[in-house]
Amino acid sequence: MLIRVLKSKLHMATVTQTELTYHGSITVDADLMEAAGLIPYEQVLIGNCSTGQRGETYVIKGKPGSGAMQLNGAMARLAQPGDRIIVLAFAFADPQEAAGIKPRIAVLDQHNKIVEQWEG
């Protein structure tokens, strides 16, 4: 049996832009992706801290150091620029393997700068 466990989290990211006519996804600053252990095209769950709405999409690498957190396509309906969101990625593992997984977590300020970072 496999269970789904948290592997990556960007906590309290601020939406910088939305682009409804784009093909979909979330564009994330490459440095923030690295900090959380996200890879391009990885599936993520996004939760809007203001509304409680959630949606799933995939990650596109943004310009390093840009602070980009852009919701694209249908995801652009999930939040407005300035909204705070949580970006989560999960992995499937057997229970033994899952016990040793330490998620990479980055807490961000209102400008998408890392204020806390840790594993597990």
Instruction: Give catalytic residues, as residue numbers.
Output: 25, 58
Tokens at 117, concatenated: 């970072």
Torsion angle in degrees (nearest 10) through CA of 23, 28, 34, 35: -140
Calpha distance 35→117 (Å, rounded): 8
What is each CA distance from 75 to 5, 29, 46, in whole angstroms? 23, 17, 9
Cα–chain-centroid distance for residue 17? 14
